[in-house]
Structure 1
Amino acid sequence: MIKRYLHFFLVLLFFCSAENSFSQGNYKFLNNTKKQTIKFQLLSNLIVFPVEINGKELNFILDSGVGKTILFNINHNDSIPLFNTHKIKLQGLGEDDAVEAVLSENNVFKLKNIVGENQSLYVIFDDSFDLSSKMGLTIHGIIGYDILKDFVVTVNYNLKSLTFIAAESYKPKNCRKCELLPIEFNSYKPYINVGVKLEANPNKTIPVKLLIDSGGSDAMWLFENSAPEIVAPTKYFEDFLGEGLSGAVHGKRSIIEALVIGKFEFKKPTVSFPDSLSVAHALKFEERNGSIGASVLKRFVVTFNYPNNEILFKKGSGFNDAFRYNMSGIELVHNGKILVKENAGNSIKFGDKTQSDNKIITLIDYSYKYTFKPSYKIYKITEGSPAHKAGLKKDDILVKINGKYTYGMKFDEVVDYFYQKEGMKINLVIERNHQDYNFSFRLENAIN
């Protein structure tokens, strides 16, 4: 069963207060290697893998929607030497102003047998940009163009693997289940020409230019009025769409008739229409109409061929899974860990004394043990949603969901309950002010 995830995204666009004049080094294989495969974690639809920076291993998200490498969530435990630093301003998606950052040059990045010397990165010290609490793992940064530009990179979402191939060694195979499409770049970000079918004329395919955004967990975004025919359907609901570098993004959630990628067509995909204020900087690239996110990309085996300005889509195992959205109105985050008493069973200990040539066996009662388990709380709740109408509030801590203790579940397993079919009953036990309360509601399709 396909997993559905939180509606948050990463930085899609930023600019510096001054033009950059530094030269960025290339990545290359060591020891005559021509190919390398690494495993990644798929968390909230996003690709997380380790990258070593100046000798320190950190967790990065592979985000094709960013042109430069960004580092954040650095604390005193992350002693990373950074070189040639300069203060700058960064602007991303969101409703707030630019944030202060530091540009660092001449760094060394390493990924097993891949090394990148003379690498530049941007360091953000704003604590409000916190992806780690929404993913259950410390996320230190995002990387996109810099690591993709020098290789042919295949992303297999099903196997959770990234395969890097030297561009000169890559030999494409004939594939009837594949679609090879050209990509173009603007500010180091890849764009693709696809088609959409909208409510006003459901049989007409409207050409659109979309950012290929592996760092966005939604299926797709469309920028309303970026072209005359791009307008939101009549049925939609207002929602919190996520957080960017410059604050929260709000907009409309809905469903369109179809998304057409070459010979592939997705019926009734979910779509978000962010408000114009939040995406004002993205709209500086006037040809852009929106973005394709990970909820579409994960239905393929995707091969990024930046050296040849191409992308290959191979039909994946989850291609026909239904598109769904969060019908509860609850946005969860991790709430640290709690100490949980668990049944540990008995332990048998052999004593040193003997009796009739037999060792004396002592039964020690280790019936219980205490371990730390994850805890989850409500980060945001949509006004008028089923959860809101049931009386749930921000900062409520989830203890149980449909009879299961949440501390025994992974984050995605909990969130997946909110993406089930309309009408499904959700029973929650909530801790509020150190007291437990019971709440129930049914998932509602707010688009109908």
Structure 2
Amino acid sequence: MVRIIQVLVLALVCIQNLSAQTLGFTLPPGQKRVQMPIEIYNNLVVIPVVLNNSLPLKFILDTGVRTAILTQKTFTDILNLPYSRKYTISGPGGEKLVDAYVTNNVTLALPGIQGRGHAMLVLEEDYLELRNYLGTDVHGILGYELFSRFIVQIDYEKKLLTFTTPEKFHKSRKYQTLPMKIEDTKPYIIAPVVLQDGTTINAKLLMDSGASHGLMLDPSTDARITVPENVVSSVIGRGLGGEIVGKVGRIKSIEFGTYKLNQVVANFPDPNSYSDSIKIGNVFRNGAVGGEIMSRFTIIFNFPQEEIYIKKNASFKKGFHYNLSGLIVKAKGSQLNVFEITEVRQQSSADKAGIMAGDIILSINGIAAQMLTLNHVNAFFNSKPKKKIRLEINRKGLHMRKEFNLEDQI
């Protein structure tokens, strides 16, 4: 799923300026480097964060946000944190969607890293259902405050995150260097993109660790960006205004230095569906590179020097596929092991098998749902074309069995 918090951040851009106070992420005295394990969910990096030295939480590490965001006010209420301002976030039609609050002078601690004096945006409730669509307890988003202070290395393969102070960082010769431009606190690169019709575009792309997709290109930003003929229509993300719809197809290639990725799956948002995410303040871009591509590299962000360093990993040659089942699944329940099908793509193999939105998964290929995580469920549904899937489902109290083969429609 494409970035699911982008629209929220855009709606609250005026609030982000409140974080201009001095930020205080530091390493212990004499220490110049910290390494910590991370979790990966749907290509998103999840890190442990302790709020005000007492409440252990999990945050998404996101290059696309400036100010720390907490998705549920319950946690700050527990700590009796004061709020300096309250905002009501409205949807496109003016209807109230969710209230948001600003709390200041917050302490955010990561393993080996202490952060003091932060402003944080707090949502009344988890309107975007992050925990349900990622299948794990995710409580917030953290970004620029870390990237501006340290050289940040994400090793998707080993699931390790390394922070190094800029004065002690030395790039290994094994990494390629890509020039990067920081605009409005976010990292952008220029990358050659070859479309299916052979057109080559030097696209300006946000390097977005908070997006799970591989590549997003917006046709409204350049007349040469055309939607390929072989596409499927689908929900490509969720935002405050609701579902973000678009077309999903392939491009011929995209290059990062001497690395070339072929037949990459790309999202093409429908007109007016994702336009607010293309322009943030005065920053224009053609699209974004997300976790499905970034996870094929070990990637190092050097914000102070405006450079990115990349080295391919074992996933580099893995083929690109898009939702081979045609299903979108949400994890529910206190243990997040009740799996509800929320969308069935028309003409997908699951649709042809008679699976419907609202069905509850009881087992997949003989494995009880209670034994699975949402990561496991999605891995089953996106393993490889032609793989047979046997589902047991509950449909409004009726027990059913369904079978279908995974299919690549693009």
Taking structure 1 as the reference length, the TM-score comes to: 0.84
- Larger helix share, 1 or 2: 2
1:393 aligned to which of 346, 356, 364: 356
1:276 aligned to which of 271, 278, 281: 271
SS in 2 for 1:429: strand
1:324 maps to 2:325: no
After superposition, what is the alpha-carbon deviation per residue over 1:108-149, rounded to whole angstroms, capped at 9, x for unaligned? 111133122211111112443111012222111011111111
Shift of 1:190: 1.0
Shift of 1:255: 0.8
Shift of 1:417: 2.1
Counterpart contact for 2:132–2:336, Cα < 8 Å:
no
1:33 aligned to which of 31, 42, 46: 31
Matches within 5 A, 1:403-422: 403-422=366-385
* Matching residue's letter, 1:11: I
Shift of 1:335: 2.5
Give the equivalent residue in structure 2 for 1:348: none
Give the equivalent residue in structure 1 for 2:392: 429
Matches within 5 A, 1:269-418: 269-284=264-279, 285=282, 287-336=284-333, 374-418=337-381
Give the equivalent residue in structure 2 for 1:264: 259
Give the equivalent residue in structure 1 for 2:10: 14
Counterpart contact for 2:189–2:204, Cα < 8 Å:
yes
Tell me: CA distance 1:95–1:310, structure 2 relative to 1, closer, same or farther (3 Å): farther
SS in 1 for 2:141: strand
1:218 aligned to which of 213, 217, 226: 213
Give the equivalent residue in structure 2 for 1:142: 141
Shift of 1:28: 1.3
Give the equivalent residue in structure 1 for 2:182: 185
Structure 2: unaligned runs, 5 residues or longer = none
Counterpart contact for 2:5–2:128, Cα < 8 Å:
no
Tell me: CA distance 1:421–1:57, structure 2 relative to 1, closer, same or farther (3 Å): closer
Distance of 1:226 and 1:94 partners within structure 2: 25
Tell me: CA distance 1:18–1:422, structure 2 relative to 1, closer, same or farther (3 Å): closer
Distance of 1:108 and 1:166 partners within structure 2: 20
Distance of 1:247 and 1:373 partners within structure 2: 23
Counterpart contact for 1:94–1:279, Cα < 8 Å:
no
Tell me: CA distance 1:383–1:275, structure 2 relative to 1, closer, same or farther (3 Å): same
After superposition, what is the alpha-carbon deviation per residue over 1:350-398, rounded to whole angstroms, capped at 9, x for unaligned? xxxxxxxxxxxxxxxxxxxxxx892212122223322223221222111
Counterpart contact for 2:83–2:101, Cα < 8 Å:
no
Between 66-75 and 326-335, the greater mean CA deviation after superposition:
66-75
SS in 1 for 2:104: strand
Tell me: CA distance 1:10–1:146, structure 2 relative to 1, closer, same or farther (3 Å): farther
Give the equivalent residue in structure 2 for 1:198: 195
SS in 2 for 1:387: helix
Shift of 1:74: 4.0
Distance of 1:137 and 1:54 partners within structure 2: 22
Between 421-430 and 86-95, the greater mean CA deviation after superposition:
86-95
Shift of 1:225: 3.0
Tell me: CA distance 1:233–1:53, structure 2 relative to 1, closer, same or farther (3 Å): same
Give the equivalent residue in structure 2 for 1:44: 42
Counterpart contact for 1:422–1:442, Cα < 8 Å:
yes
Counterpart contact for 1:425–1:441, Cα < 8 Å:
yes
Counterpart contact for 2:135–2:336, Cα < 8 Å:
no
Distance of 1:94 and 1:219 partners within structure 2: 31
* Matching residue's letter, 1:40: I
Give the equivalent residue in structure 2 for 1:86: 85
SS in 1 for 2:31: coil
Counterpart contact for 1:93–1:279, Cα < 8 Å:
no
Tell me: CA distance 1:411–1:392, structure 2 relative to 1, closer, same or farther (3 Å): same
Tell me: CA distance 1:94–1:208, structure 2 relative to 1, closer, same or farther (3 Å): farther
Between 321-330 and 418-427, the greater mean CA deviation after superposition:
418-427
Give the equivalent residue in structure 1 for 2:225: 230
Shift of 1:427: 1.7
Give the equivalent residue in structure 1 for 2:159: 160
SS in 1 for 2:209: coil
* Matching residue's letter, 1:303: I
Tell me: CA distance 1:373–1:304, structure 2 relative to 1, closer, same or farther (3 Å): closer
Shift of 1:445: 2.7
Distance of 1:255 and 1:17 partners within structure 2: 32
Distance of 1:38 and 1:219 partners within structure 2: 25
Counterpart contact for 1:54–1:81, Cα < 8 Å:
no
Give the equivalent residue in structure 1 for 2:401: 438
Distance of 1:37 and 1:93 partners within structure 2: 42
**Which structure's CA Rg is the greater one?**
1
SS in 2 for 1:217: coil
* Matching residue's letter, 2:388: K
Counterpart contact for 1:304–1:311, Cα < 8 Å:
yes
Give the equivalent residue in structure 2 for 1:356: none
SS in 2 for 1:57: strand
Counterpart contact for 2:250–2:264, Cα < 8 Å:
yes
Distance of 1:429 and 1:295 partners within structure 2: 29
Distance of 1:438 and 1:97 partners within structure 2: 41
How well do the aligned residues superpose, as a CA RMSD in angstroms? 2.5
Counterpart contact for 1:185–1:191, Cα < 8 Å:
yes
Structure 1: unaligned runs, 5 residues or longer = 1-6, 338-371
Distance of 2:247 and 2:93 partners within structure 1: 15
Counterpart contact for 2:216–2:268, Cα < 8 Å:
yes
